[in-house]
Structure 1
Amino acid sequence: MPHDPVARLPEPPYYAVIFSSVRHEGDEGYAAMASRMVALAAQQPGYLGVESVRGDDRFGITVSYWQDEASIQAWREQAEHVIARELGKQKWYEVMATRVCKVERAYGFARQADGVLAPLR
């Protein structure tokens, strides 16, 4: 499911879940599951957006943004997400770490077609 590379988010405060990982070689269903998780997360109450990258060295970072800690906990307990996390442990990741942060300040810009800088929202 395509999405903006930089998430458009509300004014803080909100929460970020930072998931860093190093993938094993090969796909083994990973791409399909990753796509499904992005689409499923977007349907969850409290979901605000996602940003994700993976390098040729198999290292990746996905940051998902959430309204509050209760939304994060509900996502963590979502049945398909539980299965995906378990598959990650069993066959997709050599290393993985999850960090949860409260975002208190955020700023940025987007260059418009006319070259004018507009606040990123």
Structure 2
Amino acid sequence: MTALKNSVRLIGNLGMDPEVKTFDNNRKLARISIATTDSYKNDKGEKVTDTQWHNIVFWGAQATLAESYLKKGDAVAIEGKLTSRNYNDKDGNKRYMTEIVVNEFVKMGSKA
């Protein structure tokens, strides 16, 4: 069960093309956001759709693959770990961010 301590699996659609940065040591970072959508019926029997957006991070070879193969609208399955970090924005305000760092991903298709 130790592998389950910090494990996230999501299937969703990319809301953007990957944003890629290459650092001085040629290490790559790619960022995307994916949307996951759940539907249910409320007390009145009306269909309600709930969409959640997730920040996804790829490093190294995974970032290179994401840059080459993923585009806005693609369906993707990802597996990774949940991470949290903070930073100061340009105005000096402290911001907090939760991201999923990808271990593996599978491109499932594109929106027609």
Give the structure-2-normalised TM-score.
0.29
More strand by share: 2
Larger RCO (CA under 8 A, 6+ residues apart)? 1
* Higher radius of gyration, 1 or 2: 2
